[in-house]
């Protein structure tokens, strides 16, 4: 590839995403908004993408950032943080009921309001990973564009509204410094041994997660290995604050880039349906979080972040920025992802046959 061609196809789109993304992060930080280094880039780059600007964050740049965030969040799993883990059984059971209820509700919503076929309804309703649901839904005969928009709109709406809700309504103030949580140190003060241990957690976690076919293995593998290292007190360190900020800027810009090629005029109806489904899910998350709080006594703020239908990486980063129980929220989101990625495809064929049988009876 010629230098000019490489510049125009890769570096310019990357610069158009990261540059405005950094400015968005600085602006959101100046306004003391939570998760500024992700929320700012998300908002700015999404606007650029919808305006037709060719923004792009390459996959090879995003992947190391996902690994880094996994290692960082794994550092929250200290012996003290997991002392009450045995009490999570009730909340996890109710989480499973929440997933079943919301999936059933959204299938009916997409069918009645959107008129989607069952495969599209089903995989657009599963609160799992965006790309996993798009790929599986397409393989099962669903409309991958509609599935993508349903999940993309859901994640974007949650990532934007949940932090603002906590900041403006609940009164949460972002933590000081760079706003990336406590116990982080500057890059200049980071010990070489700690750097090597955390790097090993990322590498070992990535390849072991891939080998074991873990859901969202790029994130969950490093998170699990890092959690083991911190639970066994091999290390107590976290990645440097500057790297965490960089990871959030890249991930936030990448999230906004998902809307490249989307034209509002062409897909206004689909976006309207997707927006409605996101509101339904958020409403259910609020109701269930207060219900589980009433039963278990766990803090409603932590439960709301545990049930909020955003991405696993994004929701745990919000928890970190707000100083809310990261380990609790991460564990519950991992359970949700496992239910979505493992159970959903296994149950699809049975439910699809049953749905077609019911529709044939209605048409006869």
- Residue 48 in any domain: the answer is no
Q: What are the backbone angles phi and psi of residue 53, rounded to the nearest 5°?
A: -70, 135
Burial class (CB in 10 A: 0-12, 13-18, 19+), 173: exposed
- Residue 223 in any domain: the answer is yes
- Residue 102 in any domain: the answer is yes
- Residue 247 in any domain: the answer is no
Please tell me what DSSP assigns to residue 177: T
Q: Residue 279: which domain range? A: 61-234+261-358
pLDDT tens-digit readout, 218-230: 877 898 899 899 8
- Residue 207 in any domain: the answer is yes
Q: Which residues of the chain have pLDDT under 70?
A: 1-10, 33-35, 80-86, 128-132, 135-136, 139, 167-184, 215-216, 265-267, 311-313, 338, 341-342, 345, 356-364
Residues 13, 54 contacting (CB under 8 angstroms): yes
pLDDT at 105: 93
- Residue 53 in any domain: the answer is no
Cα separation, 24 vs 252, in Å, equals 10
- Residue 290 in any domain: the answer is yes
pTM of the model: 0.67
pLDDT at 100: 87
Cα separation, 348 vs 354, in Å, equals 10
pLDDT at 6: 58
- Residue 25 in any domain: the answer is no
- Number of structural domains (the chain) is 1
pLDDT at 342: 64
Non-local CB neighbours of 107 within 8 Å, separated by 6+ positions:
118, 121, 122, 125
Q: What Å distances lie between residue 130 and 135, 149, 180, 353, CA to CA?
A: 9, 9, 25, 25
pLDDT at 123: 86
């Amino acid at each position: 590839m010629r230098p000019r061609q490489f510049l125009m196809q890769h570096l310019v789109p990357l610069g158009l995403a990261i540059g405005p993304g950094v400015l968005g992060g600085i602006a959101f930080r100046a306004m003391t908004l939570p998760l500024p280094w992700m929320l700012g880039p998300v908002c700015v780059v999404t606007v650029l993408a919808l305006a037709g600007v060719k923004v792009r964050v390459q996959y090879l740049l995003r992947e190391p950032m996902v690994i880094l965030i996994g290692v960082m969040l794994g550092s929250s799993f200290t012996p003290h943080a997991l002392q009450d883990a045995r009490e999570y059984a009730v909340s996890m059971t109710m989480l499973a009921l929440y997933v079943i209820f919301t999936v059933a509700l959204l299938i009916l919503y997409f069918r009645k309001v959107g008129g989607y076929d069952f495969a599209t309804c089903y995989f657009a309703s599963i609160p799992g990973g965006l790309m996993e649901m798009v790929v599986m839904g397409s393989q099962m005969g669903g409309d991958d564009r509609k599935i993508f928009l349903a999940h993309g709109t859901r994640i974007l709406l949650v990532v934007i509204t949940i932090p603002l809700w906590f900041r403006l309504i609940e009164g949460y103030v972002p933590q000081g410094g760079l706003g990336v949580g406590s116990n982080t140190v500057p890059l200049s003060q980071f010990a070489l041994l700690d750097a090597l241990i955390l790097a090993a957690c990322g590498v070992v976690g990535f390849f072991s997660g891939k080998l074991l076919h873990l859901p969202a293995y790029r994130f969950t593998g490093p998170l699990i290995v890092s959690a083991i290292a911190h639970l066994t007190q091999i290390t107590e360190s976290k990645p440097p604050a500057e790297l965490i900020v960089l990871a959030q800027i890249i991930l936030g810009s990448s999230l906004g880039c998902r809307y490249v090629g989307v034209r509002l005029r062409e897909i206004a109806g689909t976006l309207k349906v997707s927006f409605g489904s996101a509101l339904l899910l958020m409403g259910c998350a609020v109701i269930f979080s207060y219900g589980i709080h009433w039963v278990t006594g766990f803090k409603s703020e932590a439960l709301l972040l545990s049930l909020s239908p955003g991405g696993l990486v994004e929701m745990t980063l919000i928890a970190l920025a707000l100083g809310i129980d990261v380990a609790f929220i991460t564990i519950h989101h991992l359970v949700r992802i496992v239910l979505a990625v493992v159970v959903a495809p296994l149950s699809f064929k049975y439910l699809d046959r049953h749905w077609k049988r019911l529709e044939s009876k209605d048409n006869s």
